[in-house]
Structure 1
Amino acid sequence: MEYKLKQGVTAYIEPSDKYKTVLIQYKFRTIFGGKTATERSLVKNMLETNSKQYPSQNEMDLKMASLYGATLHTQSQRFGKQHVVTMSLSVVNDKFIGGDDTLLEEAFAFLEEIIFRPNAEDGKFHEKTFLREKENLHNYFESLIEDKSAYARTRLNQVMFEGTDQAYQGIGDACFLKDITSTSLFERYAEMIESNQLDILVSGDVAPDRILNILAAQKLADREETEKEVFYYREMNTEPVAASEAQDINQGKLFFGFSSPVYYMNEHYFAGLVFDGLFGGFPHSKLFQNVREKESLAYSASSGLDFLRGVMTVGTGIEFDKREQVEEIVLAQLKDMQAGDFSDDLIAQTKSMLINHYKQNDDYQGRSLAKQYQDILIIENPLSQEQWIAGLNAVTKEQIIAVAEKMTLQAIFFLKGEATDE
Structure 2
Amino acid sequence: MPSMELRRMSSSSCVWLPVLVLQCCFQLSASLIYWSAYVELRYLDRWTNETVGSMCECGVFGAHSLLESASGGIVLPNADPLACSRNTTFTAPHEPWIALIKKGNCTYTRKILAARRNGASAVVIYNIDGTGNNTNIMSHPDADGVVAIMIGNIQGTEITNLIKSGTYVYMKITVANPYGLWSGATWAYALSFAFIGITAITLFYFAFLFIKRMYRNQQLRMQLREMKRVAESAIAQLEVRTLRRGDPEVDSEDTSCAVCTDSFQHNEKVTVLPCRHLYHKKCIEPWLLEHPTCPICKYNILKSKMDEESSEQRSSSDVSFCPPVVMTVTSTHQRHTSDVQTAENHVYCEMGVQTQHIYENPAFEDEPQTLEHHNINNQM
Q: What's the TM-score bracket when you normalise by the shorter of the two chains? A: under 0.3
Q: Normalising by the residue count of structure 2, what TM-score does the alignment of the two structures yield?
A: 0.18
Q: Normalising by the residue count of structure 1, what TM-score does the alignment of the two structures yield?
A: 0.16
- Higher-helix-fraction structure: 1
Whose RCO is larger (CA < 8 A, sep 6+)? 1
